[in-house]
Structure 1
Amino acid sequence: MKRPYPPEHLIDKDWSEEFLFESATDIHDWLQETILNPNSKLYNKDHEHLIGHSGVCFLWAESGFEKQGRAVLGQAEIVQFQASGWKKYRQEAQLIRWFGFLPKALITLDARYCSDCSDSSFMALVEHELYHLKQKISPNGGPCYDSQTGHAILQMRGHDVEEFFGVVERYGGNVDVQRMAELVNNGPTVSKANIAHACGTCLLKLA
C-alpha cells in the first residue's frame, strides 16, 4: 500500500496566508494495512494496542516549527482540554470539523517534510510518534480498556533514551543516538567504582 502524502495545496500555499492544518485520515488507513497489520512485513508488535483503534487521528500541518533550537517535525498528544465553556466548545468543534468526532489522541506531522522525505524516514517519524502513545496500566498491573469502545486507553510516554529502542532497531539512529552508542561501545572513561566513590548515595550502597 502506497504511503500517504500531504495534499499539494498545503505545500504550495502562499506564506502570507493563515497557517493551515488538514486531516490526514489516509494515514490511519495506511497504518492499519501496514505497521498495525500482523500479516504485513512492516508489522510492529510494539504497537499492537493500536490495532483497530479508531481514536488515534492524524493531522497535516503546513510546516514544522522550532522548539529549544530543534526543528519539530511531528508531535503526539492525548486530546484533553485545559479550558471550559465556549473556549472548550470551540476547541472541540474544530476537531469535530476535521475528523467528524473527538479523537482520543492526535498526531500532527510537518507536511513539507513528509512531502520530500524518504519512505523509511516517513515511517520512522510516524512510528516515533506512535511510540509516545502507550496503553494505560491499571494499579493491579493489567492493561486498561475503554468500556464503551473496547479500545486501549492511551497515555503519553517519554523516550527510552534520546529515541525509542524500537525506532532505532527498525530504522537506525539519528546522530545523537549514534553518538550515544559509540560512547557505550567505547566503555566508561571513569569506572563504576570510581563513580560510586564520588557519589554519596552509592557510597551508602557500597558500605
Structure 2
Amino acid sequence: MNIPRPNEENALGLSDWFGPSLDLAIWAHETFLVEGGELENPDHAHLRFAKIGYLWTNVANTKKGRMIIGTAEKGQPQGAMGKWSKARAELQVVEWFGQVPDFIITIHAEWWLQAGDAERCALIEHELYHCTQDKDAFGAPKFSRSTGLPVYVMRGHDVEEFVGVVRRYGAEATRVQELVDAANAGPEIAAAEIAHACGNCA
C-alpha cells in the first residue's frame, strides 16, 4: 500500500480543517504494527490491538517557537471539562472514528505533502512511541480489572528523543547528539532528515 496523502484542497486551503483518515490508520497499522509488516517494529507490538485514530489538519500550531507537525494523545478527551464540554468533545471523536479510540494521532497535512517517505515514517513512529501500555508495580503490562483490556498511557522520550526512532532512521532524524550511540550502528530502514516538531514534546 502506498503512503496515504491528505486531500490537497483541504490541506492547502485557507479554512481550518480536521479530517479523519482511515487510509493512514490502515497504512500505519499494516506497516509498523502487524507482525511481518514491511517496516514492522517490535517496539510497537503492544499496540497491535490498540484502537488508534488518525487525523489530518491544516491548522498551524507552534510550541516554544517550533512548528508542530504531529501529536499523539489519548482518545478520551482529557483535562478539566464540564459535563457538556466533555460530552461534546466525545461526540466529535465518535463522529470522526465511530468510537472513542485509545489514541489519536494528528498530522499536519501540508507538511506531510512536502515531506519524503523516510521523514513521514519517522514522524509516525515518533508518535507511536508516545503511545504505550501502562505497567503494574512489578513491571508487567497492566490490564483493567473491570474490562480485561490493556490500560494505555502516554509516554515521554527516552532522553530527548526516542532511541528507537534514532536507531531506525538515523541521527539526522532528531539532531540529538546524546543519542549518537544508538545511531552508530546505522539506521535499520533509511536515513531521515527531520527536526521533529511533535506537540507532545517540550
Contact 2:77 2:86 in 1 (8 A): no
Task: Give deviations 1:175-194, integer Å, cap 9, x for gaps.
Answer: 763433579xxxxxxxxxxx
Residue pairs, 1:62-77, within 5 angstroms: 62-77=58-73
CA shift for structure 1 position 66? 1.2
Contact 1:32 1:52 in 2 (8 A): no
Contact 2:11 2:57 in 1 (8 A): no
* Correspondence for 1:85: 83
* Correspondence for 2:126: 128
Identity of aligned pairs, percent? 36
CA shift for structure 1 position 12? 3.1
The alignment partner of 1:141 has SS state of coil
Contact 2:171 2:179 in 1 (8 A): no
Task: Summarize the Cα distance change of 1:116–1:141 in structure 2 as closer, same or farther, 3 Å threshold.
Answer: same
1:76 partner letter: A
2:10 partner letter: L
Return the index of the structure with the highest Cα Rg.
1
2:125 partner letter: E
The alignment partner of 2:113 has SS state of helix
Match of 2:92 among 91, 94, 101: 94
CA shift for structure 1 position 130? 0.5
* Correspondence for 2:106: 108
Corresponding position: 1:24 with 2:24: no
* Correspondence for 1:171: 169
Task: Give deviations 1:67-116, integer Å, cap 9, x for gaps.
Answer: 10111110111133321321111111111111111122111110001111
Task: Give deviations 1:31-84, integer Å, cap 9, x for gaps.
Answer: 22211122123110000011132x211111114411101111101111333213
More helix by share: 1
Task: Summarize the Cα distance change of 1:3–1:149 in structure 2 as closer, same or farther, 3 Å threshold.
Answer: farther
Query: How far apart, in 2, do the equivalents of 1:8 and 1:148 lie?
Result: 44
* Correspondence for 1:5: 5
Q: Scaled by the length of structure 1, what TM-score is found? A: 0.78
Task: Give deviations 1:118-146, integer Å, cap 9, x for gaps.
Answer: 11100100000000111100123221235
1:44 partner letter: N
Contact 2:72 2:103 in 1 (8 A): yes
Where do 5+ consecutive residues of structure 2 fail to align?
Answer: 182-202
Contact 2:72 2:130 in 1 (8 A): yes
Task: Summarize the Cα distance change of 1:137–1:112 in structure 2 as closer, same or farther, 3 Å threshold.
Answer: same
Corresponding position: 1:41 with 2:38: yes
Q: Scaled by the length of structure 2, what TM-score is found? A: 0.80
The alignment partner of 1:57 has SS state of strand
Query: How far apart, in 2, do the equivalents of 1:176 and 1:4 lie?
Result: 23
* Correspondence for 1:186: none
Q: Which moved more, 1:124-133 or 1:30-39?
A: 30-39
CA shift for structure 1 position 28? 1.6
Corresponding position: 1:141 with 2:139: yes
